[in-house]
Amino acid sequence: MQEEPTDPYSRAMNLLKDMESVLSELLDSLKEKTSIETPNVVVTMNDIKEDPDSNVPGRYDPSSETILLNYRADLSNAMHLYSHHIQLVRLGATKYIYISSEEGLRLPWVMRRLEREADHMSTLLIGQLNPRVKIQWESDWRAIAKSLDRIKAMIEFKRKWNVNYDELRGSRSQ
């Protein structure tokens, strides 16, 4: 077995890649039912949102067919973005990009047809998952997310401490 790296950078990168594998495997398990090739997945620690009005902490990029997902996302968020990939495959890239940019430009998130449909499809997809696979996925995903939370908290603590330390020195020299 490979030795665990100790620096937070390598640890975070490894954990994010683990999450990507866990998510790809889950999507692969749906391939039989959807007959759709699994899209690329990138898991990030950055705060992202599909739209300011959306509660999905991620984005689907149609040009690279990539799901970009925050590590704190849940199963329904992941399935929502996977639904966008299914829409792209079904409609064809040109039509999907056209409709999503048209709707994105003119309508609020709650009114976009592609979004409504993705929410609905996401519920259906969750129902299609093998219950054992689903439970296993949720526990694996959460466990890795917790490790990332700890790294993030540690980094934030260190940063805050350094800032306070500098402020303290600044106030002393005045």
User: What's the closest the beta carbon of residue 28 comes to Zn ion, in angstroms?
Assistant: 21
Tokens standing for residue 2: 């490979």
| Helix residue ranges, H only, the chain | 8-28, 31-34, 75-91, 93-106, 113-128, 131-173
User: What's the closest the beta carbon of residue 125 comes to Zn ion, in angstroms?
Assistant: 13
Q: Considering CB under 5 A, how many residues would be counted as binding Zn ion?
A: 3
Tokens standing for residue 11: 């640890």
Q: Give the C-alpha separation, 1 to 4, whole Å.
A: 9
Tell me whether residue 60 or residue 71 sits nearer to Zn ion (CB atom). 60
Answer whether 69's CB lies under 8 Å from 42's CB: yes
**Interacting stretch for Zn ion, rule CB under 5 A, among 2-10, 65-73, 95-103, 107-115?**
107-115
Give yes or no for residue 78 binding Zn ion (CB under 5 A): no
User: What's the closest the beta carbon of residue 72 comes to Zn ion, in angstroms?
Assistant: 17
Give yes or no for residue 86 binding Zn ion (CB under 5 A): no
Give yes or no for residue 67 binding Zn ion (CB under 5 A): no
Give yes or no for residue 118 binding Zn ion (CB under 5 A): yes
Beta bridge partners of 121: none
Q: For residues 41, 42, 48 and 52, what is the CA-based torsion angle, rounded to 10 degrees?
A: -20
The binding site for Zn ion (CB under 5 A) comprises 50, 115, 118
